[in-house]
């Protein structure tokens, strides 16, 4: 499986886990909050920040979300979803500054344009990677337009059928773009543990032969928010994405699954530790194990006093933890040989003791 270069980093099976912090709408329409989230991403040691770029009139109709009882993902009542999101949508001129700021901190920037107008605008932003939501998988012109940008593409497959995934991959490849990552993750906020289906990660790898990652939306208040992503790593995930907010206690948009910067930093540390703990799949004795063997393996010692000239028999030998002496698989070489001198009980048995 070929590695995918994103900014200064590489996404590859067996390589270092690529950690993405997703801002989504957590900025609440504030430039300062968006900037704080970007800084929090860099301070946490993540590799990339992922943002939604939206032109509202190209994204949804003005009466969308006007059904009675419909709310935003932050649980706030809204007469119309359009009006609410339009109010917290980041201004275009701010995005230019925010992209530059993220790159100045060494972050790769992933852009998820939600519509054709935003895709055109991304030419000015120059993201390192594009993200396509499953909701857009049936839009052939849009998919091909993203593929033509010549940048790596993340496909969020939550809510997509296998047929839709296959078709979307085919359209991207037909535009000469082979740099595709599949991102598994249920888009409900927060995601129920029983809905995670982490084993699908292995199936996706085997079925499509592409790098696979996890976008986790578990309740951020739960300890499992820092555990579930780790479980994805031995299953083959090479990308981990988590929502990030400036302050979850403010209960802004998308707060349910969003970590605070300090929590993201802890997760990045856990991911690094998990990678080290998983280690290599090949069987070999490590340096640490070699040291353990030296002090833990039993060695041959005299089971009783052995007189000088006495022929060594198997029943004269016992095995105990000892600093010297032959190992159990080496004693055949001294059986039947005569002791050069008297050997006391528990004295280590070595080649030099016998003729």
- For the domain 287-353, what is the CATH code? 3.90.1210.10
**C-alpha–C-alpha distance, residues 55 and 95, integer Å:** 12
Structure tokens that stand for 256 in this block: 């349910």
Instruction: Please name which of 187, 195, 229, 254 lies closest in space to residue 29, comparing C-alpha atoms.
Output: 254
Structure tokens that stand for 107 in this block: 């972050």
- Cβ burial 188-208 (10 Å sphere, 16+ → b, else e): ebbbeeeebebebbeebbeeb
Q: Is the dihedral of CA 336, 341, 345, 351 positive or negative?
A: negative
Fold of 4-54+89-278: TIM Barrel (3.20.20)
| E-state strands within 117-163 | 129-132, 153-156
Pairing state of beta strands 4-6 and 9-11?
Answer: antiparallel
Structure tokens that stand for 209 in this block: 């032969």
Q: How far is CA 140 from CA 58, 117, 156, 262, in A?
A: 16, 15, 16, 40
* Domains in the chain: boundaries: 4-54+89-278, 287-353
One pLDDT digit (tens) per residue for the chain, 355 residues: 689 999 889 999 889 999 999 999 999 999 999 999 999 999 999 999 999 999 999 999 998 876 655 555 545 555 588 999 999 999 999 999 999 999 999 999 999 999 999 999 999 999 999 999 988 998 999 999 999 999 999 999 999 999 999 999 999 999 999 999 999 998 787 999 999 999 999 999 999 999 999 999 999 999 999 999 999 999 999 999 999 999 999 988 888 999 999 999 999 999 999 999 998 878 888 888 888 888 889 999 999 999 999 999 999 999 999 999 999 999 999 999 999 999 999 999 999 999 9
- Cβ burial 8-39 (10 Å sphere, 16+ → b, else e): ebebeeeeebbbbbbbbbbbbbbeebbbbbbb
Half-sphere exposure of 40 (CA within 13 A, CB side): 28
Structure tokens that stand for 246 in this block: 């400036």
In DSSP terms, which residues pair with 216 in a beta bridge? 242
**Residue 132, class by beta-carbon neighbours within 10 Å (0-12 exposed, 13-18 middle, 19+ buried)?**
buried
């Amino acid at each position: 499986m070929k590695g995918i270069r994103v900014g200064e980093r590489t996404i590859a099976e067996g390589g270092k886990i690529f950690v993405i912090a997703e801002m989504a709408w957590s900025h609440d329409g504030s430039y300062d909050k968006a900037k704080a989230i970007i800084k929090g991403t860099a301070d946490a040691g993540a590799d990339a920040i992922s943002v939604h770029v939206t032109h509202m009139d190209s994204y949804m109709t003005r009466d969308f979300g006007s059904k009675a009882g419909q709310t935003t993902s932050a649980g706030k009542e809204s007469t119309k979803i359009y009006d609410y999101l339009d109010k917290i949508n980041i201004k275009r001129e701010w995005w230019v500054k925010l992209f530059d700021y993220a790159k100045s901190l060494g972050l790769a920037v992933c852009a998820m344009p939600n519509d054709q107008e935003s895709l055109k605008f991304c030419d000015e932003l120059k993201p390192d990677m594009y993200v396509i939501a499953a909701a857009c998988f049936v839009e052939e012109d849009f998919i091909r337009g993203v593929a033509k940008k010549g940048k790596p593409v993340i496909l969020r497959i939550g809510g997509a059928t296998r047929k839709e995934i296959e078709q979307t991959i085919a359209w991207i490849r037909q535009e000469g773009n082979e740099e595709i990552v599949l991102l598994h993750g249920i888009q409900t906020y927060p995601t129920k543990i029983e809905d995670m289906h982490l084993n699908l990660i292995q199936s996706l790898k085997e079925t499509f032969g592409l790098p696979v990652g996890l976008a986790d939306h578990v309740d951020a208040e739960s300890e499992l928010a820092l555990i579930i992503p780790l479980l994805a790593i031995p299953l083959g995930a090479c990308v981990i994405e988590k929502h990030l907010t400036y302050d979850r206690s403010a209960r802004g948009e998308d707060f349910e699954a969003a970590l605070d910067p300090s929590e993201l930093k802890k997760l990045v540390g856990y991911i690094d530790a998990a990678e080290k703990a998983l280690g290599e799949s090949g069987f070999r004795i490590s340096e640490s194990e070699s040291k353990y063997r030296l002090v833990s393996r039993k060695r041959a010692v005299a089971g009783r006093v052995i007189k000088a000239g006495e022929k060594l028999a198997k029943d004269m030998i016992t095995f105990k933890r000892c600093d010297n002496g032959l190992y159990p698989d080496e004693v055949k070489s001294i059986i039947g040989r005569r002791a050069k001198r008297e050997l006391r009980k528990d004295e280590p048995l070595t080649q030099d003791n016998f003729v």
